[in-house]
Amino acid sequence: MNIPQISVTEAQTPEVRSKIRRAPRLAQFDWFTRMLRDPKAVIGLVILAIFLLMAVFAPVIAPKDPNRIVGRANQAPTAKFIFGTTGQGKDVFAQMVWGARLSLGTGFLTGALITLLSLALGMTAGYFRGWVDGVLSTATNVFLIIPGLPLLITLAMYLPPGAMTIIIVLSVTGWAWGARVFRAQTLTLREKDFVSAAVVSGESTFNIIFREILPNMTSLVVSSFFGSVIYAIGADAGLAFLGFENVSIVSWGTMLFWAGNNSALLTGAWWTILPPGLCIALVAFATTMLIYSLDEVTNPRLRSEKEIDSVLKRFHIRSRRSTPVLRHERGG
Amino acid sequence: MKYLLKQMGLYLVAAWAALTLNFLLPRAMPGDPVMSLISRMRGQIKPEQIASIKAAFGFTDGPLWQQYLQYLNAVFHGDFGISISSYPVKVSDIISTGLFWTILLGVVSLLISFIVGNLLGVFITWRRGGVADTILPGLLTFMGSFPYFWLALVMLFLFAFKLGWFPLRHAYADELSPAFTWTFIQSVLVHMVLPAGSVVLVSVGGWMMTMRSTMVGVLSEDYIVMAEAKGLPQRMVMFAYAMRNAILPNITQFGMSLGFILSGQLLTEMVFSYPGLGFYLVKAVNTQDYSLMQALFLMITLAVLVANFIVDLLYVRLDPRVRAG
Amino acid sequence: MNAEDKGALLAVRDLSVEYLTPRGAVKAVDHVSFQIQPGEVVGLAGESGSGKSTIAHSVLRILRPPAVISGGEILFRGDDILGMTQQQLEAFRWKNVALVFQSAMNALNPVVSVVDQVTDTMMVHQKMPRKEAEARATELFRVVGIDPARLHSYPHELSGGMRQRAVIAIAMALNPPLLIMDEPTTALDVVVQKEILRQIIALKRDFGFSILFITHDLSLLVELADTIAIMYAGQIVEQAGSRELFDHPRHHYTQGLMNSFPSISGPKRRLTGIPGAPPDMVAPPSGCRFHPRCLAAQACCAEKVPAPTMDENGHHVVCYFPLEGGER
């Protein structure tokens, strides 16, 4: 899966700047209201909401234990079992619904942890610079280059199995992306007037970081969180597929493990593969839409491009290569 | 030059980190891998074998730093120890063929995804608001959300199992043996279609969107306006002026995503039983073959580092501003 | 087409250019008219934001949307530029009119060598083979004052002055009869500025092309220009032969501009500058756009835009109370 990232540009820092010492809280969330007007974001939010509701209301939607054996193994979808049964004779639909809890839960929780970790490391590197930055940056680059899966597997092999291991392992491999971005943004913000003003007026380092710099990075933090969630859900599924997780607990990843284990392909049981994978894909897609929308809303250049597009449409101007001539006397 | 040296330095640090991690982990973890191996063999080994296993693992006598140096020494001589699952076969023998197939599949799928993705990115920027620009971003982004191994499963099921258009597994037909004959090469190509195809389908959207993003930035630069003012045809402006500049940040990004994409490819290899490193990775996991696992981790990491360096060389070639140092 | 336009190389008549923004149309150029004769150097002077660059880019029609040309005519040797299709424009550009950009560093493709940026025009427009094009490029470099050994350098390897000369060389590649120079020396330091200016004057003398020289620095036009037009807030407020303008400025803005520059020789003067700030182009002042900053403004100035008047010297001015035969 691809994990998009919003572009960190010089112009991305929000409009409230050097004149105001402490950025008003509400201005930080401008981008959120603007996102709500973007169809991409709305689609993303709706899809995520559906899955969240599915996870929360699992006992209502698919009552009874998803791990129960309910029928013959490998039955194709019927009216009774709309997604058929697994190689063990369990209800695929029920598993999918209940599996959302673990998959989404691990995904979001791990995503949050990864974001916090990368925020801490990235901001430290960007703010303190010097040798601290040197060490942290090298560590970040090393973790970026080293391929994730072999590292994941190596760590998972040695640690005792369990949810804790998964979370630790995912965090260790996933923090580097965000750290790079946060470091870059902190470096930029650090040079801004309002930070210098704070330093000169004797603000404590703690205050400067948490009250001056961090609030101006909210959209970046949100975007990084989304990216981390996508990574966590995907990597979690990968680990489960490989058998690193407790396969008796139902999640989308373990569903795929069993599908592979039971040679779903050779028996033709596509219904054991499709639903869990599509769920993962849809959640990742919805989150990606949110990231793209956020990028558009916070990047002034992208925003003005959109404005220009709508203006051009209104005047039926098609060519962008040469100056159009709109003369009212002639045909134009 | 300075740029290349800096990158080299980074890769050396990364390689050292991987090596050290490999060394420390088995010693840091609870339990004794040697003992677990022995217990698995249910006491069917002689004492000499226990000693040689320990030696192969690097669990020799002496202080930690001494073991570390011996370990490094062994690695530099290509001695990765003995595979537990295929005892007493040496690890290095097992993974050398794996490395070849992974690199082959990797190079092919990466090149195709990168080139097609970037060209599509240029195309949808050129024909903004056109058909391609309306459909492709949404479609390819959706496909990009699929986990690599899942799309591999789906494609395997659909095209190999159900439709029978492509083979189900392996890198070449079972009855053939490797040779430079056309039959063999053809078989290799046919067996590569699905694995490479699934990697390409997932990755291409990402490249396209990144390229589009950089192109939009580049197209607002003054030298593009000057190119238009010169009356150059659009084809030339798009490629010689815009793309030539827009591709540079994408190349650095290419280097950084190599590790990530390779991870996805490894899982794809598992699904197709493609005899690359991914296949051996599965084996190592399933049989708890620590020495194989370690060697694979190292090998894969080194492959990525080397690939990164090659990308850096390419980048220096393309961006004259970096050449100056 | 007017009788006076006959023979003119470039005739701009009543040109208006607007930027279409979501907030409304901004008129960057408002009914501007001027001509350039073959071999003439016309200077276009004004503050930043007065619309001078917009005019330059409009002649070649390289302004990007949301800018649109909303009125007027641009004729080059009688050809209607505003009616040209994309294909016609591609053939027309650079061969007839070339543009020297303000910032050479930004105008040059950073990853292509300078020689290739000269030869591509020749290879496209004149179908010249590469070897011949490179030979001509070498000659051009020599003529603008760059050591031909630097032909294959990249833009970042050249100094600021050399880059500007390179851009001039590129502009001259197809021997166009008209060169538009958009603040070609602004990004350079003063010493280099003078050198480049000298070079331009020499080139004009040797090759005989016309120049539309755009600048905010009037003093540069003293030696160079035959005719000068002063722009303010999208309109031309004064136009005259350069000697006539310098001796007898008639618009108050022009007077203000001239008083803003110290002169090295001559008596010490108090610099006055011009009070106020350039107007907001979304909602420009009513009537004469300069009236809020003009010391001689009266009630009528705010009501209606004055009609242009011309005296026997061909000196145009747009003002109700122009300075009479004034001294500086």
Q: Are A87 and A74 in contact (CB under 8 A)?
A: yes
pLDDT of residue C14: 92
pLDDT of residue A332: 35
Contacts of A327 in chain C (CB under 8 A): 69-71, 82
Minimal Cβ distance to B228: which of A302, A309, A321: A321
CB contact under 8 A, A142 and B28: no
Q: Mean pLDDT across the stretch C69-73? A: 90
Q: Mean pLDDT across the stretch C146-175? A: 92
pLDDT tens for residues A190-246? 888 888 888 888 888 888 888 888 888 888 899 999 999 999 999 999 888 888 888
CB contact under 8 A, C69 and A310: no
CB contact under 8 A, C124 and B233: yes
pLDDT of residue B47: 67
Q: Mean pLDDT across the stretch A162-168? A: 83
% of chain B exceeding 70 in pLDDT:
85
Interface test with B, best of C53, C58, C62, C156 (most B CBs within 10 A): C62
Is the pLDDT at B214 greater than 60, yes or no?
A: yes
Interface predicted TM-score of the whole assembly (ipTM), two decimals: 0.88
Contacts of B300 in chain A (CB under 8 A): 147, 150
Chain A, window 122-161: residues with a beta carbon less than 8 angstroms from a chain B beta carbon: 138, 141-142, 144-155, 157-160
% of chain C exceeding 70 in pLDDT:
95
Q: Give the lowest-confidence range in A306-310, B15-19, B244-248.
A: A306-310
Q: Are A16 and A23 in contact (CB under 8 A)?
A: yes
Q: Mean pLDDT across the stretch C107-112? A: 94
pLDDT of residue B230: 95
pLDDT tens for residues C281-309? 778 888 888 888 888 878 888 888 888 88
CB contact under 8 A, A323 and C58: yes
Q: Mean pLDDT across the stretch A12-22? A: 43
- C88 to chain B, any CB pair closer than 8 A? The answer is no
Residue position matching structure tokens 């929780």: A109
Work out the mean pLDDT of chain A and round it to a whole number.
Answer: 83
Contacts of A306 in chain C (CB under 8 A): none
pLDDT of residue A8: 58
CB contact under 8 A, C124 and B231: yes
Phi, psi of A280 (to 5 degrees): -60, -45
Which chain A residue has its CA at the smallest distance from C81's CA? A325
Is the pLDDT at A179 greater than 80, yes or no?
A: yes
Minimal Cβ distance to C107: which of B223, B318, B324: B223
- B229 to chain C, any CB pair closer than 8 A? The answer is yes
Which chain B residue has its CA at the smallest distance from A234's CA? B147
Alpha carbon B312 to its chain's center? 16
CB contact under 8 A, C124 and B232: yes
pLDDT of residue C328: 42
pLDDT of residue C220: 86
pLDDT tens for residues C23-57? 778 889 999 999 999 999 999 998 887 889 999 99
Is the pLDDT at A32 greater than 60, yes or no?
A: yes
Q: Mean pLDDT across the stretch B279-302? A: 80
CB contact under 8 A, B216 and A302: yes
Minimal Cβ distance to B230: which of C106, C121, C154: C121
Which chain A residue has its CA at the smallest distance from B289's CA? A157
Interface test with C, best of B126, B223, B230, B237 (most C CBs within 10 A): B230
B46, with CB counted inside 10 A (0-12, 13-18, 19+), is: exposed
pLDDT of residue A206: 83
Work out the mean pLDDT of chain C and round it to a whole number.
Answer: 87
Q: What does pTM read for this prediction?
A: 0.85
Contacts of B229 in chain C (CB under 8 A): 60, 62, 93-94, 98-99
Contacts of B150 in chain A (CB under 8 A): 237, 256, 273, 277, 280-281
Is the pLDDT at C229 greater than 90, yes or no?
A: yes
Q: Are C179 and B229 in contact (CB under 8 A)?
A: no
Is the pLDDT at B250 greater than 80, yes or no?
A: yes
Q: Are B302 and B5 in contact (CB under 8 A)?
A: no
Contacts of A332 in chain C (CB under 8 A): none
pLDDT of residue C40: 93
| pLDDT confidence tier of residue B143, bands split at 50, 70 and 90 | very high
pLDDT of residue B98: 85
pLDDT of residue A22: 46
Query: Taking Cα atoms as reference points, which of C2, C57, C1 lies closest to residue C29?
Result: C57
Work out the mean pLDDT of chain B and round it to a whole number.
Answer: 83
Is the pLDDT at A21 greater than 50, yes or no?
A: no
Alpha carbon B122 to its chain's center? 25
Q: How many Å lie between the alpha carbon of A332 and the closest alpha carbon of chain C? A: 9
Minimal Cβ distance to A323: which of C21, C69, C83: C69
Task: Tell me the three-class secondary structure of chain B, residue by residue.
Answer: CHHHHHHHHHHHHHHHHHHHHHHHHHHHCCCCHHHHHHHHCCCCCCHHHHHHHHHHHCCCCCCHHHHHHHHHHHHHCCCCCECCCCCCCEHHHHHHHHHHHHHHHHHHHHHHHHHHHHHHHHHHHHCCCCHHHHHHHHHHHHHHCCCHHHHHHHHHHHHHHHCCCCCCCCCCCCCCCCCCCHHHHHHHHHHHHHHHHHHHHHHHHHHHHHHHHHHHHHHCCHHHHHHHHCCCCHHHHHHHHHHHHHHHHHHHHHHHHHHHHHHHHHHHHHHHCCCCHHHHHHHHHHHCCHHHHHHHHHHHHHHHHHHHHHHHHHHHHHCHHHHCC
Chain B, window 182-211: residues with a beta carbon less than 8 angstroms from a chain C beta carbon: none
pLDDT of residue A329: 44
Q: Give the lowest-confidence range in A154-158, A204-208, B27-31, B301-305.
A: B27-31
Query: Taking Cα atoms as reference points, which of C320, C323, C264, C259 lies closest to residue C289?
Result: C320
- C124 to chain B, any CB pair closer than 8 A? The answer is yes
Phi, psi of C13 (to 5 degrees): -125, 115
Q: Which chains touch A (3 or more CB pairs under 8 A)?
A: B, C
pLDDT of residue B76: 78
pLDDT of residue B115: 94
Which chain A residue has its CA at the smallest distance from B23's CA? A154
Structure tokens at C311: 């005296």
| pLDDT confidence tier of residue C326, bands split at 50, 70 and 90 | very low
Minimal Cβ distance to A154: which of B25, B258, B270: B25
pLDDT tens for residues C240-282? 998 888 888 888 888 888 877 766 666 777 777 777 888 877 7
Chain A, window 229-248: residues with a beta carbon less than 8 angstroms from a chain B beta carbon: 230, 234, 237-238, 241-244
Number of A/C CB contacts below 8 angstroms equals 54
Chain C interface, Cβ < 8 Å to A = 17, 20-22, 57-58, 61-71, 82-83, 86, 89
pLDDT of residue C4: 55
Alpha carbon A29 to its chain's center? 18
pLDDT of residue C135: 93
What is the DSSP code (8-state) at residue C281?
T
* Pairing, β C210-215 against β C178-182: parallel
pLDDT of residue B84: 60
Number of A/B CB contacts below 8 angstroms equals 165
Report d(CA B170, CA B163) in Å as an integer. Answer: 18
- B127 to chain C, any CB pair closer than 8 A? The answer is no
pLDDT of residue A10: 46
Evaluated on CA atoms A96, A99, A101, A106, the torsion sign reads negative
Is the pLDDT at C133 greater than 90, yes or no?
A: yes
CB contact under 8 A, B285 and A309: no
